[in-house]
Amino acid sequence: MIIEDDKFLRELIVRKLNKEDFEVSEAVDGEEGIKKIIEEKPDLILLDLILPGIDGFEVLARMKKESSLSSIPVIILSNLGQKDDVEKGLKMGAIDYLIKAHFTPGEIIEKIKVALK
């Protein structure tokens, strides 16, 4: 599942994942993301932090509180590149933190494959 409000980036990653035979669900904000996580229990979540309404940190916090969701791996994909943000995301339980500007969609897909192995 990808939770990302940037339509261009979201569609680009979804297309790449579909080409790799991944089944992808998408959400454009934190509220929709949480709803879909509860309904679908995805194998992995690619999570943006700056989202309309509920931000990515709050989505992660709510997931970690819920025992049925807390074991789902989360990879943060964000423009927030400050050390504090990265540390906060990882402390909250994300398995990886990718800064958008530093990774190509292909590299993001590789990270997802490694995480799902």
Sign of CA dihedral 28, 34, 38, 41: positive
Give the pLDDT score at 68: 95
For the stretch 51-110, pLDDT in tens is: 999 999 999 999 999 999 999 999 999 999 899 999 999 999 999 999 999 999 899 999
Fold classification of 2-116 is Rossmann fold (3.40.50)
Give the pLDDT score at 41: 97
Task: Give me the residue spans of the domains in the chain.
Answer: 2-116
Give the pLDDT score at 27: 98
Contacts of 30 (CB under 8 A, 6+ apart): 3, 51, 52, 53, 54, 55, 56, 58, 59
Give the pLDDT score at 59: 98
Give the pLDDT score at 42: 98
Neighbours of 79 (CB within 10 A): 12
Q: Give residue 32's pLDDT band: very low, low, confident or very high (50, 70, 90).
A: very high
Contacts of 20 (CB under 8 A, 6+ apart): 109, 113
